[in-house]
Amino acid sequence: MCCTWNECMDNSSGGLEQTQPEGLQKKYVKVGIGQMAAAGRETVLKTTGLGSCVGVILYDGKGAAGMIHIMLPEVHTAVHGCVNRWKYADPAVDDLVAHLIDKGCCPGNLKAKIAGGAHMLSVKVRSRLIRIGERNVRAVKHRLSSHGIPVIAEDTGGRNGRSILFNVETSQMIIKTGGGELQL
């Protein structure tokens, strides 16, 4: 059985902000930097402050989805010691895929929507090491490809920060920027 998630509102990363405005039936779950959340049909996942960071949404179109807010491309660049794996594209994508499969999603049904990866520095930088946004997007796409997960929609690059709202029930992603709103 694939993804009947009435019982599956799982906030395994801890510390997630959950709000439900008066009169609305949707639960809003805010995913911060280095956090992951998985949710069922009656939820809107949201993340804010995506500059060079990338917001990744995995969903099955049947009422199950997960979101991660990635800050850097590879965990091997981390300073040794206690590391939050979900700040890095490679382990974060792998962990979210595994988590959704553990919760009943069929791997072949998973799809991705991504946003972020902007170049936020005002100076023109040629160094690939400094262009973190581009590297984050590349790393996310590489990990998704290794799992056979297609990127259905994206809004990446540029110089604008973004926020994402993802309605799990409709699989609609709304991207907010200083210049307006985009629905994917």
Question: Which residues are catalytically annotated?
Answer: 53
Task: Give the separation between CA 70 and CA 94, rounded to whole angstroms.
Answer: 12
Under 8 Å between Cβ of 94 and 143 = yes
Task: Give the separation between CA 30 and CA 19, rounded to whole angstroms.
Answer: 8
Task: Give the separation between CA 144 and CA 136, rounded to whole angstroms.
Answer: 12
Q: What DSSP state is assigned to residue 10?
A: B
Task: Give the separation between CA 30 and CA 16, rounded to whole angstroms.
Answer: 6
Q: Which residue type does 39 have? A: A
For tokens 């917001």, what's the residue? 55
- Compute how many other C-beta atoms are within 10 angstroms of the C-beta atom of residue 20: 14
